[in-house]
Amino acid sequence: MKLTLGLASVAVCLTTTSFLMGGHVTLPSYITSRKDLPEFITAPHDAQAKPVGEEQAGYYYQTYQGPDKVWHVQLVDYKPMPGDLLLFDDHNKIITFMYQMVGTGAPLHAAMIVARPDQTPAILEAGPNFIPKVFVVDPLRRMRAYPGTVLIRRPRQPLTQEQSDNLTRFAMAQDGKDYALTRLFMQATPFRPRVGLRKICFGHTCLERKRWTCSELTATACTVIGLLDSRRFPANAMYPRDFCYDDRFDLSSSYAEPLLWTEHPTPATLERNERGQLRLVFQK
């Protein structure tokens, strides 16, 4: 209870400050100074990259059941396609606990693959590495630099060219916008539109914002390409975990099961734990 009240107090203070300073929280310049940004943001776009569906960015583990009814796992080349969801978890215990206090959990961050205007793949992401901006970055550079687990969730059907073009226009229009710190901090208060009457009255998807959280941006991108219905999946009511597990928001009609990503082709096998659940065991 003390922790919840503490988070709420911080949120209220920051929210009040934000309105006094023009509607958003102003951060020290050293946080947003370009010289301090990671390489995956500052590095120039690779103009020699192959188009979406051809450019490889690591691998993922695909499980399947063979004719013998035995489950197997295989490594598959990951070639990013527009509409792919990327789910990040750095296993930070403090942040995970804070997420749990507001009714959610890991994964802790979400983003989406888009096609650039030149049709090469990119990631549309708000707040990478706690940097309060929206960026469009190269996939492999970003994913290999992440100090944690990355999951991929792919659309059940590839996007049409029209859907992909709509997503490209949306993504490029968001590049460089600020992170919605005020709305993020409001999640620690009773005013978040997560459940119940608050969700019914205030849950919505806004297609044009000046500032985004990672989950708002990802959910809105899904709406732009027609994979999520804004009435059933209000962007400001969704958290990163909702894009991975279908217990609160069921994405299974549009998206396949999450897949574990890896930069290197590390062999793995499947074993059952004490609960009978399958798990990946990596070979040394």
For residue 186, what pLDDT is reported?
74
For residue 196, what pLDDT is reported?
67
Cβ neighbours around 194 below 10 Å, total: 20
For residue 123, what pLDDT is reported?
98
For residue 199, what pLDDT is reported?
67
For residue 11, what pLDDT is reported?
38
For residue 212, what pLDDT is reported?
96
For residue 48, what pLDDT is reported?
87
List pLDDT tens digits, range 71-103. Answer: 889 999 999 999 999 999 999 999 999 888 888
DSSP 124: E
For residue 235, what pLDDT is reported?
93
In the predicted model, residues of the chain with pLDDT beneath 50 are 1-32
Q: Read off the tokens for 282.
A: 């990596």
List pLDDT tens digits, range 152-174. Answer: 999 999 999 999 999 999 999 99
For residue 194, what pLDDT is reported?
66
Distances (CA, A) of 15 to 4, 23, 191: 16, 8, 12
Q: CATH classification of 57-179+196-282, choosing from 1.10.8, 3.40.50, 3.20.20, 3.90.1720?
A: 3.90.1720
pTM of the model: 0.85
Domain ranges of the chain: 57-179+196-282
For residue 274, what pLDDT is reported?
83
126 within 8 A of 213, measured Cβ to Cβ:
yes
For residue 30, what pLDDT is reported?
39
For residue 198, what pLDDT is reported?
65
For residue 107, what pLDDT is reported?
96
For residue 262, what pLDDT is reported?
97
Buried b (16+ CB within 10 A) or exposed e, 16-49: eebeeeeebbeeeeeeeeeeebeebbeeeeeeeb
**100 in helix, strand or coil?**
helix
